[in-house]
Amino acid sequence: MLFLRGGHKNAKCGPEDVHAHLESIQLVSLPSTVLTSYLCPNIPHWLKPCSGESMNVHVIISTLSGTGMAKNFYQYILQPFLVQIGLVDYKVHETKSAQTIIRLCKSQFIPVAQSGVPQLLILLSGDGGLSDIVDTFHSATAALLAPPTIALIPAGTGNAMASSMQLNSHISSGLVTLLRGRPKLVPTFIAAFSPGAQHITEEGHSRTSILGNSRQEGDCPKIRGAVVVSWGMHAALVADSDTTEYRRFGSDRFKMAANELLFPSNGTETHKYAGTITLTKWDRQTDSRYMETVSNKEHMYVLATLLPRLEKDFMISPKSKPLDGSLWFVHFGPMPPEQAMQLMTHAYCGGQHVGEEGVFYSEIEGFKIEFNEIDERWRRVCIDGKIVVVENGGWMEVRKEVKHAVNILAPPGIDDIRH
């Protein structure tokens, strides 16, 4: 029997709990109730291929994610776990920069997928690492004969995908899913931008092109995501808190940045984000799409997501179900900062904010924003934790992606998860 020893009562359920380590004991028998819940009679095929098949297992350690404890989790828990189940033939990759996972996909993982060989990518990361894999695989020009399967072990700050799939309900949840989960397609959205849009990197000090993600020269810059796309307060707080200083506070960094945005320390008013938003919705009676323009031209919170949770306790979209492919839109306009703070506090109470007056919450097919902001600080958008700045007079258009490029191991009871 394998079990985790150590940790402390108030430890977070993830790699942050560096005090935990894997141990094993030999048992003669166990109660049937324990066997029913925890017995793994066979090693799944993604960890033990059939005779004659090649083995392609990679462990990716995102050293920059969250509070930087992914390497400890690998050393004290994952590595001995893989030894116990007999898996020794795998490669370990540690990220050296924000480009490491993208380069690995292009140089190693995508060519293998195009050759038709199955791969398992054990990813110790937050949503950013998952987003890198999703976006890079969707940008591949040749057909993927064998899409990879991702085993996600949460190591980020928010961990939206892991939280929505309840992979961080216990420190061992990712390991249990590695053994007892089942591969499911990862739904994605695609965000297209006006030509001048750029990635913001290095804590806001650098800009990089996103044209490299386009399929053909002359295409608009495009990014695929699997979690969230936002503008306004959410995007701004993610961008402002993406520093080494803020990251040491874990998920509390978001609340700290939100407080500064709502109650600026320089005494100015809370910003009102100016732009035109057009929604694309589905008419079930006519089986057709139609467009609907948001009447407000000033906004505070604009967000679309494929998932119910952005953090373990932060339920942004209570009607969302993980991996079902539905895109939900959350919006509210300018309001007093105290009211906005209270509103978002309700998201920590089972998503009660969506029922509040002034909040628009609806399933959509996509949306477009035409920005009307002079200061680039207010033209920043967030895609799965990554920040993009759109040029003055530019736009962003988001729609659901019809193609699937990667799988993810989901817990056995994912269809029964109630948020």
CATH number, residue 226? 2.60.200.40
Q: Domain check: are 68 and 197 in the same one?
A: no
Look-up: residue for tokens 């059939």? 50
Residue-level pLDDT at 20:
78
CB 127 within 8 A of CB 161: yes
Q: Domain check: are 394 and 409 in the same one?
A: no
d(CA 141, CA 419): 37
Residue 254 zone, left/alpha/beta (φ > 0; ψ -120 to 50; rest): alpha
Cα 32 from chain centroid? 37
Q: Domain check: are 200 and 247 in the same one?
A: yes
What is the crossing angle of helices 252-262 and 337-345, to 10°?
Answer: 160
Q: Domain check: are 197 and 272 in the same one?
A: yes
Longest dimension (CA), the chain: 71
Residue-level pLDDT at 279:
99
User: For 407, phi and psi rounded to 5 degrees?
Assistant: -110, 160
In order of 85, 179, 181, the CA distances from 47 in angstroms are 9, 8, 12
Q: Domain check: are 324 and 371 in the same one?
A: yes
Q: Domain check: are 78 and 202 in the same one?
A: no
Q: Domain check: are 395 and 320 in the same one?
A: yes
Q: Domain check: are 352 and 325 in the same one?
A: yes
In order of 41, 278, 324, the CA distances from 144 in angstroms are 32, 34, 22
Q: Domain check: are 178 and 129 in the same one?
A: yes
Q: What is the pLDDT of residues 140-197, one digit of tens each?
A: 989 999 999 999 999 887 899 999 999 988 888 899 899 999 999 999 999 999 999 9
With the CA atoms of 241, 242, 244 and 250 taken in that order, what torsion angle do they form, in degrees rounded to the nearest 10? 60
Q: Domain check: are 207 and 60 in the same one?
A: no
DSSP 123-149: EEE-HHHHHHHHHHHHT-SS--SS--E
Residue-level pLDDT at 10:
45
Q: Cα 46–56–77 angle (5° rounding)?
A: 70
User: Which CATH number belongs to the domain containing residue 124 in this structure?
Assistant: 3.40.50.10330
- State which residues form the domain around 148: 2-186+404-416
d(CA 320, CA 309): 9
> Which segments in the chain show pLDDT lower than 50?
9-12, 213-215
DSSP 237-300: HHHHT-SHHHHTTTTHHHHHHHHHHHS-TTSPPPP-EEEEEEEEEEETTTTEEEEEE-S-SEES
Number of domains in the chain: 2
Q: Domain check: are 242 and 167 in the same one?
A: no
Q: Domain check: are 222 and 86 in the same one?
A: no
